[in-house]
A = this chain, B = another copy of it.
Amino acid sequence: MTDILELGKRAQAAAPAIAAAAPAVKNAALAAIADALIARTGEIVKKNQEDIERAVANGMSQSMIDRLLLNPQRIVAIAASVRTLIDMDDIVGSVEHGTIRPNGLQILKTRVPLGVIGIIFESRPNVTVDAATLCLKAGNAVILRGGKEALCSNAHLVAVMREAVESAGLPADVVQFVDDTSHETAEKMMRMNQYLDVLIPRGGAGLIRAVVEHASVPVIQTGTGNCHVYVDDSADLEMAVNIVDNGKTQRPSVCNAVESLLVHKDIAQEALPLIKARLDQHKVVMHGCQTTRSILGPDVQPATEEDYAKEYLSYDISVKVVDSIDEAIAHISRYGTKHSEAIVTRSLEHARKFQTQVDAAAVYVNASTRFTDGGEFGMGAEIGISTQKLHARGPMGLHELTTVKYLINGEGQIR
């Protein structure tokens, strides 16, 4: 069991080496990690089995066990996503803006690594590698604190990464692993301002709330998405059905999945049965308002306040018939989590109104909320979706894992 402050100290000591590392050196480290993951698949799967066996013994649900599982195909996928980072442009040192001031000073706004990034995450062990390698590509040291369910898998993945990083000539200490999953240690980590530049929680609403509440280190909140689709009275019905279906059923367990459907009253009679027919193919349970139930009948559950506020992450959806786009926007403002919101409409005025007035990281017109994703946005890999407004909002890629440094060059200028 290592002292968390000691991990912080080591990460901080190693950070300048990776911050100053040439792109080729960082890429060599990433390649070494990808190679090692493949070469050592056997060991990794074996360590993962220990976690799986414990999970089964503890009666963990099948879907949670599935999130925990590492098998050769999944390790190939993890290694592949590390390799995609290699091809991405290096952001460190790039000049974001440059000016010559009237007094001749040259001012360059450059991008530099944040320093040491702490990540607190829950069960999925692929996050260990995804998050660490993205931090490394952006020139940062990283301290990883995963959930206790994946302790054996995570510890081994970190050991593999540390050896690989070192083989590429970087200090192994740029990747640190917290092998103590107690709350006390997590809370110490959250207040380790002297060693951590930022803390990113990845996981459910409870984890994120706890980190925001207890951290004095700057936090970037990610994640919870109570995403809505509003079907406007002028909507193309086939498009509406496709977008609701895709948002709800393509991958229900993720944060950009649709959790709530709002339908304009003038189109509800026609739209709701079509949407229900499609969702029925995936056995989606609808939780509807009074009007919805009067249109669709009693196999729609009655929706409660909790239904409207809920991020189901399952084959459930809340449904409400609204009188106007204004009521839809007000509903989203009340229950939404500022993640991704969509309108299906043919009206330019309504499209513009919705995009202007809805306060969320990503606001869609006639497209599925499932696109809120670093890869889909063309940023490459991402470390999460920020639902807060400071530093990063929406998908967080390499850019969001850096900060700026102004370089000012003069010939003796004084004020």
Contacts and interface: CB of A to CB of B under 8 A. Distances in A.
A242 interface: yes
Contacts of A99: 377-378
A284 to B, nearest CB: 16
Contacts of A355: 407
Contacts of A390: 114, 197-198, 218, 220, 390-391, 403
Interface size of A as a range: 35 or more
A408 B365 contact: yes
B101 A409 contact: no
A240 to B, nearest CB: 9
Contacts of A101: 376-378
A220 to B, nearest CB: 7
A115 B239 contact: no
A414 B107 contact: no
A406 B218 contact: no
A404 B393 CA distance: 6
Contact of A20 (B238, B357, B414): B357
Contact of A389 (B197, B364, B407, B408): B197
A247 B413 CA distance: 11
Nearest to A236: B412
A371 B218 contact: no
A388 interface: yes
22 contacts: A20-B357, A105-B376, A107-B377, A218-B218, A218-B389, A238-B412, A245-B414, A250-B414, A351-B409, A359-B405, A363-B407, A366-B412, A366-B413, A367-B410, A367-B414, A368-B414, A370-B414, A370-B415, A371-B413, A376-B415, A390-B390, A390-B391
